[in-house]
Amino acid sequence: MSAITGALLIGSRDVAEGPTFRAVDPARGSEIEPAFVEAGPAHVAEAAALAAQAFPIYRATAPEARAAFLDAVAAEIEAIGDALIERASQETGLPAARLQGERARTTGQLRLFASWIRAGGADEPRLDSPLPERKPLPRADLRLRHIGVGPVAVFGASNFPLAFSVAGGDTASALAAGCPVIVKGHPAHPGTSELVGRAIRAAVAKAGLPEGVFSLLTGTSHELGGALVGDPRIAAVGFTGSRAGGLALVAIAAKRPVPIPVYAEMSSINPVFLLPAALESRAEALGTAFVGSLTMGAGQFCTNPGLVIAIEGEGLDRFLASAGTAMAGAPSATMLTPGIAGAYAKGVTALAGAGATEIARGGAEAGPNACRPALFVAEAGAFLSEAALSHEVFGASSLVIRCRDAAEMLAIARAVEGQLTATLHLDAADHKLAAELVPVLEEKAGRILANGWPTGVEVCHAMVHGGPFPATSDPRSTSVGTLAIRRFLRPVCYQDLPEALLPAAVKDGNPLRLPRLVDGTIVPAPASEDGK
Amino acid sequence: MSAITGALLIGSRDVAEGPTFRAVDPARGSEIEPAFVEAGPAHVAEAAALAAQAFPIYRATAPEARAAFLDAVAAEIEAIGDALIERASQETGLPAARLQGERARTTGQLRLFASWIRAGGADEPRLDSPLPERKPLPRADLRLRHIGVGPVAVFGASNFPLAFSVAGGDTASALAAGCPVIVKGHPAHPGTSELVGRAIRAAVAKAGLPEGVFSLLTGTSHELGGALVGDPRIAAVGFTGSRAGGLALVAIAAKRPVPIPVYAEMSSINPVFLLPAALESRAEALGTAFVGSLTMGAGQFCTNPGLVIAIEGEGLDRFLASAGTAMAGAPSATMLTPGIAGAYAKGVTALAGAGATEIARGGAEAGPNACRPALFVAEAGAFLSEAALSHEVFGASSLVIRCRDAAEMLAIARAVEGQLTATLHLDAADHKLAAELVPVLEEKAGRILANGWPTGVEVCHAMVHGGPFPATSDPRSTSVGTLAIRRFLRPVCYQDLPEALLPAAVKDGNPLRLPRLVDGTIVPAPASEDGK
């Protein structure tokens, strides 16, 4: 059983000396033992040097070896057992059942990525045959595969202490791509981070990989993150957090002598459009389900429905009445950190100050860092003229926009900033309006969903958890699902290289049994000789 | 037959009023008629507004419609006939045969991209089936396709007036991705640009596409490029040119309120490693072929072999003697512009000043803007300690590095900056050393080639014309080949959308007959009903 020691994990070395900080139990407002070492720039330099040493060895591993390593990370995380759930719950205020589900998602993600790279999803080989007789010039033998970009810095998020933290989506996709990872652990859950970090380290050691494949640096300073993004050995950055935090890292990366990509997932209010026929037919059920989605986990999801758009009328009145009733019965819930609870309270106050009308609040605050759910309403015209009404309030707060007509609903769709998600509630009679909204929303959001709620992000091949700015700093990708691996890859072409020098992914005979694009046609993976 | 009028092409509108400039015939050092309008920020705003209007319509076209449009652009370029070659030759000093080949590459590229998007290469659809019975939670119906990022700004390069200019690789890949294009035409070949721009415009009109799909703004000011990259309607930038120019655009893009990607292909000296056995067996032939590659087109290629690395000894002495003889017989050739000719002369002087020893020059300068080929040699130790020796000299200048041993050759490989290409000349006896070099070079270059020369970039599926900084600003992509289209795409996910609202690429029954990734397995494109 792993113990929580408070050490930094730099490759295989524990760093137990230095200034320290402690985690806070947000439900009690009290500090938790033990003390954790504050990582600083010297630790960054040490971890980055190890990562740079490890990169050529790690990236050269066969897909099967990397896949087995990802599977092993999943098994090591499961082997921590209940201690992980208990510590995570204490550090975040999230209930055990939620964290058990999040753990399953985290290990499932590692195993899905393992299966995907076994199937060639990282290499994506392409071969173009030589044409020695072509006129006026022959064509050479050209073969392409993808390799990792280099060591990746991953910033753990506070709101998913497992699935978007030390062994979360960014770490899993970078490791799958063949990139060593240095995690900047979120200081809100350092014990959880250490437990998971030790699990990854154990998998590194058992796989015989270089120690620099993984390091965990936890700390509270901005200096730490800046040193990590600025280190010349870091080739890319994955981040999930606030808009201000993400933009700060993007700015640091842009100022480097060698600029690097930052995949920052930042800010989204996830508009939900209630179309007229759907609203008419099931306003009450929508109101109840909406508040359920909004208040789940104290609303601390990147995909929380923070904006609802509907056309005024009797249907909307019924929706608001239903949502208001549900909201009044919604309990307060402990937020992740005192800072987040404070920002939530400020955000709710700012919405009111910007002209939104409060129509319901949840149960009175319970405990030192509780989120009291809040529901506001504003007219479409006010929303279109007051930017403050579209600011994200992280937590269980939402704003219902009352439109006069469909044209105003479309105007809202066109006016919102980039989003992770956009949702339509619709019936068959709404298809005409929906067909006007979908093309607008495609340019605004990474995922468009119908008759559901945006919270809950499936880890699969077709998921997009991304979207135009400010939802992310780079809309060309996703941070969830197997497509996320592409973020940390780059293509390399081999021209006329002797067979002996070619990497296995593009060798004659396809020894890795990967699907390959040959002369523009996909050739599926061949069956293995023993029929597997 | 299109005439050259000197107008800007803003959608379907000719702008013939305003301050003007003229092209220069570099072989004569004299100006050419007619005068061309200088584009400025107001023209950028007009073209960007048209592009933004065109984007939703253009990106919604089916792959077949976009492919037919690309094919039509190729046909319209061919229809210009000899007038295009004559004007391009006059504006660039490049011979007609070279320009005919470049035209074939340009039209072939458009047609290859057309075939690739017909085959689903832009959409890349992915479907994950719903799992309604899954516990603890059902899985939704999830479908993903890629769409264009938005209007793209393309900066034409001086050195490929057709293949990297108005209808070059960046334009072709952006149009293939479904993005309108605004070309900032290079002022060195404004007449060539206008002819090609009118060809694209004709194809836009014949296809019934919105006029804003294409605009051409030519001008000489930095202000023009800055306004284009800074325009809020521009979603991505493609650039081929100098390191200073590329970095300036990257900096402008990073400072926008909404940052956008800049794909700048900038600076590369394309190291060529002559391995011992190959050098021993064919030093003379390598020397001759090297000078042929170096001096072709006055050395004005991004992939020009500007650095040669070999181990000292009798083989290298023979190589240098052979190269020196070939160099002495190499004629001068007219460079693209007076600016480039001036920079070449300065660069050659700087190499000598940085400690390189001149060992041969080509024929004396002929004409006002001629490039006199130059060959230098330096010791490996000097190269490793003097950064100026690794600066790109655009033109027919190269530096041979003399290493004491294989270890020093490996040290050079590790020390060079990011490159477009790295070349090995090797025999079977060199494989052991090559096997050490290849992994180092994979982290340095986008393309590794054996027993050839890096000039000549095949347009195909497996090509990578890209590489780590400063070869490009973004090593995750290529600017040549079908993979280039991905630069201008972003994924969108559809969750539980009714069939009627789904885009065709992800509809049930696969009406577009595209290969699709279904539950993690590639399902090839189905044959059409008539067996095609």
Mean pLDDT of the region A183-192: 98
Mean residue pLDDT of chain A comes to 96
Q: How far apart are CA B7 and CA B427, in angstroms?
A: 55
Catalytic residue numbers of B read: 265, 302
Asked if B261's CB is within 8 angstroms of A140's CB, the reply is no
Consecutive H or E run containing B262: strand B262-265
- Predicted local confidence at residue B530, as pLDDT: 57
Residues pairing with A146 in the sheet: A491
Residue type, position A463, single letter: M
Which of these ranges, A162-176, A518-532, B104-118, B491-505, has the smallest mean pLDDT?
A: A518-532
Q: 3-state SS string over A159-227?
A: CCCCCCCCCCHHHHHHHHHCCCEEEEECCCCHHHHHHHHHHHHHHHHHCCCCHHHEEEEECCCHHHHHH
Q: How far apart are CA B498 and CA B23, in angstroms?
A: 56
Q: How far apart are CA B111 and CA B73, in angstroms?
A: 9
Q: Evaluate whether B463 touches B169 at the Cβ level (below 8 Å).
A: no
- Predicted local confidence at residue B1, as pLDDT: 47
Q: Is B358 on the interface with A (CB under 8 A)?
A: no
Q: Note if A211 is an active site residue.
A: no
Q: Is B67 on the interface with A (CB under 8 A)?
A: no
Residue B363 has pLDDT above 90, yes or no: no
Model confidence pLDDT, tens digit, residues B285-315:
999 999 999 999 999 999 999 999 999 999 9
ipTM of the complex: 0.97
Model confidence pLDDT, tens digit, residues B409-461:
999 999 999 999 999 999 999 999 999 999 999 999 999 999 999 998 999 99
Q: Evaluate whether B346 touches B371 at the Cβ level (below 8 Å).
A: no
Mean pLDDT of the region A246-256: 96
Burial class (CB in 10 A: 0-12, 13-18, 19+), A58: buried
- Selected residues 131-160 of chain A with any CB under 8 Å from a CB in chain B: 136-137, 139-140, 142-144, 147, 149-150
Model confidence pLDDT, tens digit, residues A468-514:
999 999 999 999 999 999 999 999 999 999 999 999 999 999 999 99
Residue A531 has pLDDT above 60, yes or no: no
Q: State how far residue A212 is from chain B, nearest Cα, in angstroms.
A: 18
Size of interface A-B (CB pairs under 8 A): 225
Residue B472 has pLDDT above 90, yes or no: yes
- Predicted local confidence at residue B211, as pLDDT: 98
Model confidence pLDDT, tens digit, residues A158-176:
999 999 999 999 999 999 9
Model confidence pLDDT, tens digit, residues A220-244:
999 999 999 999 999 999 999 999 9
Q: Is B490 on the interface with A (CB under 8 A)?
A: yes
* Closest C-alpha among A316, A291, A460 to residue A377: A316
Identify the DSSP state of B519. T
Q: Which residue has the tokens 């050395």?
A: B299
Residues 6+ apart with CB under 8 A from B446: A490, A491, A492, A493, B419, B420, B421, B464, B465, B466, B467, B468, B471, B472, B475, B478
- Predicted local confidence at residue A81, as pLDDT: 97
Which residues in chain B touch residue A453, judged by CB atoms under 8 angstroms apart?
none
> Best interface-test mutation with B: which of A237, A492, A497 has the largest number of B CBs within 10 A?
A492
| A324, A339, A340, B311, B404 from A363: Cα distances, Å | 12, 21, 18, 79, 78
* Closest C-alpha among B284, B282, B364 to residue B330: B364
Q: How far apart are CA B217 and CA B434, in angstroms?
A: 47
For B446, the closest of A119, A492, A520 (CB atoms) is: A492
Mean pLDDT of the region A317-323: 98
> Best interface-test mutation with A: which of B486, B492, B499 has the largest number of A CBs within 10 A?
B492
Share of chain B above pLDDT 70, in %: 99
Asked if A445's CB is within 8 angstroms of B126's CB, the reply is no
Q: Angle B82-92/B96-118 helices, nearest 10 degrees?
A: 120
Choice among A38, A280, A302, A403 that is catalytic: A302
Compute the C-alpha angle A179/A182/A185, nearest 5°.
Answer: 140
Q: How far apart are CA B484 and CA B427, in angstroms?
A: 33
Q: State how far residue B388 is from chain A, nearest Cα, in angstroms.
A: 17
Mean pLDDT of the region B256-280: 96
- Predicted local confidence at residue B179, as pLDDT: 98
List strand residue ranges (DSSP E) for B82-140, in order.
126-128
Q: How far apart are CA A252 and CA B333, in angstroms?
A: 44
Mean pLDDT of the region B198-207: 98
Consecutive H or E run containing B181: strand B181-185
> Best interface-test mutation with B: which of A476, A513, A517, A518 has the largest number of B CBs within 10 A?
A476
Identify the DSSP state of B139. B
- Read off the tokens for B132: 């309604």
Identify the DSSP state of A139. B
Residue B344 has pLDDT above 50, yes or no: yes
Asked if B519's CB is within 8 angstroms of A524's CB, the reply is no
Q: Coil, helix or strand for B405?
A: coil
- Write down all domains in chain A, each with its CATH number in brackets: 8-15+35-126+143-266+479-486 (3.40.605.10), 271-450 (3.40.309.10), 492-523 (no CATH)
- Predicted local confidence at residue A456, as pLDDT: 87
Q: Count CB-CB contacts under 10 A for residue B352.
A: 12
| Residue in chain B nearest A515 by alpha carbon | B522
Model confidence pLDDT, tens digit, residues A423-466:
999 999 999 999 999 999 999 999 999 999 999 899 999 999 99
Residue type, position A90, single letter: Q
Asked if B519's CB is within 8 angstroms of A140's CB, the reply is no
Q: How many CA atoms lie within 13 A of B403 on its CB side?
A: 19
- Predicted local confidence at residue A343, as pLDDT: 95
Identify the DSSP state of B461. S
Q: How far apart are CA A340 and CA A347, in angstroms?
A: 10
A526 — pLDDT class (breaks 50, 70, 90): confident
Model confidence pLDDT, tens digit, residues B76-121:
999 999 999 999 999 999 999 999 999 999 999 999 999 999 999 9
